Amino acid sequence: MNRLENHSKRGMWFGALLLVAFAAACNDSTGLSPTTPGAGPGAGAGGHGPGPVVLGTAGNYVILAKSGISNVPTSAITGNLGLSPAAASSITGLPLTLDASGTFATTPEVTGKVYAADYTEPTHTNLITAVSDMMTAYTDAAGRPTPDHTELAAGNIGGLTLPAGLYKWSNTVLIPIDVTLSGGANDTWIFQIAGGITQSSAAKVLLTGGALAKNVVWQVFGAVDIGTTARLEGVVLSQTSIVLRTGASANGRLLAQTAVTLDGNTVVEQ
């Protein structure tokens, strides 16, 4: 009887171990494994993914561009706008009222302040620094080595659930339907994209599990095109332009090394 009992107990332990292994393998339904907790310098305590990208003073703006900011009314923008080296005349579709100090302007569609390179100092100097910080952040994000995932789904990430990590593509990323970023408040994502981003109308970037838009960085060499009524989450660092089509929304920051184009959008800093 003792031998039978011993065999029975061993069988139960073996079965339990198999169940644990099976559960671990099935924990991530996408087949993508989370990266090491705290990976990379500056990663949040207990978080997964690469170290965060430091925006410096570029983080003082919800929209920052070099050549122009255009808008088709009516948009609702929460946060500061900055434009440099272009002058305030390159901000169109937003009726600006210059403050008595001459350092910033206001407009009914912006809950925040609007700064341009031709405004009174220290605005010009501050914007030079902010644009430099934006470009430094872009270079940092683009230069992160050893991605966790390369050419995932050939760039078509619609319908996927993506854990924290460093992702890299050599061409344009397509978001034809909703994509989910699943992780905690300390998790980070960096998307290195050698082409552009094309997000279809009504498609959404969804954050689940407590993930925060400020911890998501889209580093994009090409144009960013966000479709009608689509929703984007995260900080966009674009080498070229960012376009939000009619009714699209963005939670994060739009930082472009050329222009940002708006059309009745909601943009909120995160």
Over residues 177-192, the pLDDT tens digits come to: 999 999 999 999 999 9
Q: What is the pLDDT of residue 45?
A: 52
Model confidence band, residue 6 (pLDDT cutoffs 50, 70, 90): very low
Give the per-residue pLDDT at 46: 61
Nearest C-alpha neighbor of 182 from the set 205, 153, 166, 157: 205
Mean pLDDT computed over 144-170: 98
For 168, how many CA atoms within 13 A lie in the half-sphere containing its CB? Answer: 13
Instruction: Tell me the whole-structure pTM to 2 decimals.
Output: 0.85
Per-residue pLDDT at 58 exceeds 70: yes
Please tell me the predicted confidence (pLDDT) of residue 179: 98
Separation between Cα atoms, residue 208 and residue 54, nearest integer Å: 23
pLDDT over threshold 70, residue 133? yes
Binned at pLDDT 50, 70 and 90, residue 121 comes out as very high
| Mean pLDDT over each residue of the chain, to the nearest integer | 88
31: pLDDT strictly greater than 80: no
Which pLDDT tens digit goes with each residue over 244-257?
Answer: 999 999 999 999 99
Which among 201, 204, 269 is positioned nearest to 236, based on CA atoms? 269
